[in-house]
Structure 1
Amino acid sequence: MDDLEFRTRAFSNPLDEQEDFRAAADASPERRQLLGELNEFEKDLQRTLMAVDIPGGLKRKLNQHARPASPLRSRRFLALAASLVVATGLALNLFLQPGLSAQDLALHDELVEHMHQEAPSFDNRMDIDINNDSGISWNEIETILAAAGTSLKTPEELAALHMIFARLCGLGGSRSAHLVARGEHGPISIIFIRTAPVSRGVELRDDRFQGRIIPVNEGNMAVIGEKNEPLDRYESMLRDNIEWSI
C-alpha cells in the first residue's frame, strides 16, 4: 500500500482494523505517528460532541416534531448536523474556487484549523514591546527550516524581517515549518509544507485570516496574514527561493 492510499484510508477511518491497513501502518513510524494523531483527534471530536449543550428552546422545538429518541440517537443527529456544516463549507469553497481537488480542500481546512490553534502563541509575541524584543535569530529559523526539509537559496531579505515565532508542525501529514513575522497590521505566517503540492493556488477562506496556499515545485508554501495585510511581496520574495529536501 503506497502512502497516498494509506493517508486516504487513515483520514477516512483511523480505526480501520483490516489486515492490509494495519500492516501498512506498522511498516512505517511516520504512518504510526499520523495514525496516532488522527486517533487523538477522533477522541477529541467525540469528547466535544458529547459536551455539546443543546439550547433548551431549540430542543423543545425539535421535540415537537420528532418522536422520542435515545441519547445515542440524539448525539448521532448532532454528528450528522456537524457533518452537514462541514460539507456546506466544502461546497462553498468548490463554488468559489472551482477546480480544487479533495486533497486541496483537506489541506485548506487543516491549515485554517492550525492557524486558529497557533494564533494565541504568536498573538502573545506580537503584544511584546518591539523595542524590548529581539525576536528570533536567523540561526533558529534555519534550524526549523532544515528540520522541515526546506531551505532558502537567498535568505538575506527574509532574514531582515522581524521574526517572532518559529515552530515545527505536522501539516499535510509531514514535518512542516511555521514561521511568523511582524507585519504592518499584525502577524504574518509563512508556512512551508513538504508534501505533494496543491493542484493550483488555494485562497484561504476565513473570518480573520487572508492568504494563499501556493504550489512550489515539490511542496507547498502558504503566506497568511490579517485581512488588511499586504502579502504579495512576501509571496514574490519566497516563491523563487525555496528548495526542498524530499
Structure 2
Amino acid sequence: MNCEDFRTIVGAEPNTTNPEVLAHLERCPECARYREEMQAMDRLIYRALAVEAPTGSNADELLTRKSGTPSRVWRMAASVLVAVLVGAMSLWLLTPRDSFAREAIAHIRHEQASLVRTSDTVDPARLDQIMTSAQVRLKPGAARVSYAQYCNFRGQRIPHLVVQTEQGPVTVLVVTHAPTQEREQIEEDGFQGVIVPAPRGVIVVLGQNVPVDPVVWTVLDALEY
C-alpha cells in the first residue's frame, strides 16, 4: 500500500482496522500523524453532532416565536458548528509540522555526496531500471543524469536523480504517489527549488544557488508515465 491509497482509506474511515493500513502505519511516520489528525477531527465532529437542544418551556417558546420549529434551529446550529470545525481542521492538516519541502531537503542532505559537479553520467540501462521501478521512464539523452538511486521517501520507493547543468547539480525526486497539489516554491535551509504537479504525483526539483526551472521543464517533458 502506498501513501495515497492509505490516505484515501483513512480519510473515509479514520478508525479502520484494515491490515494493510495497520502495516503501512508501522513504516510511515507521516501517515501515522495523518491518521491521528483524522481521528482527532472525527472526534470533534462527533461531539458537535451530539449537541442537544435545551429543554424547558421558556427555551421552546423563544425558539418557536423566532422560527416556529425549535428542532430545525438546533439542527442548523449544529451544522454550522460542524462546518466551522471541519474548516479549522482542514487548515491544520494543510499546514503540517513537517512540510513536504522540509522532508525532501532532509532526504537530500542524507545523500549530500551526490551534489557535486561531474562529467560522469549514469549508465542508461541502470537509469532505465531505476525509473521503471516507479513505473515511469525518462527519454534517453534528455538530461545529463550523474546520480540515480532507489530511495525510500514518505513510505514509498522513488527515483532520486541528480541532473548536471552548466551552473551546477540539481536534485530531482520523482514522487508518483503524492497527493496532487499546485506548484510550490521552496527556499529553505540553503536550497531553492519547486514542487510541481506531474501526470502522476509530483516532482521535487532542488538546487543550491542554481536555477532549477530549466531542469523542471526538461524533466517534465522527458518523463513518460
- The interval holding the TM-score normalised by the smaller chain is 0.5 to 0.7
Pair 1:239 & 2:220 matched: yes
Q: Alpha carbons of 1:212 and 1:140: their partners in 2 closer, same or farther (altered >3 Å)?
A: same
Distance 1:180 1:167 in 2: 9
Q: Alpha carbons of 1:184 and 1:226: their partners in 2 closer, same or farther (altered >3 Å)?
A: farther
Pair 1:155 & 2:140 matched: yes
Normalised TM-score (structure 1):
0.54
Q: Alpha carbons of 1:109 and 1:198: their partners in 2 closer, same or farther (altered >3 Å)?
A: farther
1:211, distance to aligned residue in structure 2 (A): 0.6
1:169 to 139, 151, 157: 151
Pair 1:38 & 2:29 matched: yes
Pair 1:118 & 2:111 matched: yes
> 1:69-102: CA deviations, max 9, x gaps?
xxxxxxxxxxxxxxxxxxxxxxxxxxxxxxx934
Pair 1:146 & 2:132 matched: yes
What are structure 1's unaligned runs of at least 5 residues?
9-17, 43-99
Distance 2:151 2:161 in 1: 10
Pair 1:219 & 2:201 matched: yes
Query: Aligned to 1:156, what secondary structure does the other structure show?
Result: coil
Distance 1:27 1:33 in 2: 6
Q: Point out which structure has higher relative CO (alpha carbons under 8 A, 6+ apart).
A: 2
Q: How does 1:67-216 map to 2 (within 5 A)?
A: 101-102=94-95, 106-119=99-112, 121-123=113-115, 126=116, 130=118, 134-152=120-138, 154-158=139-143, 161=144, 163-216=145-198
Decide which structure has greater helix share.
Answer: 1
Residue of structure 2 in register with 1:4 after alignment = 7
Asked if the contact 2:27–2:155 (Cα under 8 Å) also holds between the matched residues in 1, the reply is no
Q: Which has the larger radius of gyration?
A: 2
1:187, distance to aligned residue in structure 2 (A): 2.2
Distance 1:234 1:191 in 2: 12
What are structure 2's unaligned runs of at least 5 residues?
34-92
Distance 1:230 1:136 in 2: 22
Distance 2:176 2:206 in 1: 17
Q: Percent identity?
A: 22
> 1:108-155: CA deviations, max 9, x gaps?
221121122221x314xx27xx47xx4321211111111122213x33
Query: Aligned to 1:149, what secondary structure does the other structure show?
Result: coil
> 1:29-87: CA deviations, max 9, x gaps?
xx635523539xx9xxxxxxxxxxxxxxxxxxxxxxxxxxxxxxxxxxxxxxxxxxxxx
Asked if the contact 1:141–1:166 (Cα under 8 Å) also holds between the matched residues in 2, the reply is yes
Q: Alpha carbons of 1:181 and 1:34: their partners in 2 closer, same or farther (altered >3 Å)?
A: farther
Aligned residue pairs total: 159
Asked if the contact 2:28–2:155 (Cα under 8 Å) also holds between the matched residues in 1, the reply is no
Paired AA for residue 212 in structure 2: L
Distance 1:212 1:135 in 2: 24
Asked if the contact 2:163–2:215 (Cα under 8 Å) also holds between the matched residues in 1, the reply is no
Normalised TM-score (structure 2):
0.58
Asked if the contact 1:209–1:226 (Cα under 8 Å) also holds between the matched residues in 2, the reply is yes
Asked if the contact 1:179–1:191 (Cα under 8 Å) also holds between the matched residues in 2, the reply is yes
Q: Alpha carbons of 1:198 and 1:205: their partners in 2 closer, same or farther (altered >3 Å)?
A: farther
Query: Aligned to 2:114, what secondary structure does the other structure show?
Result: helix
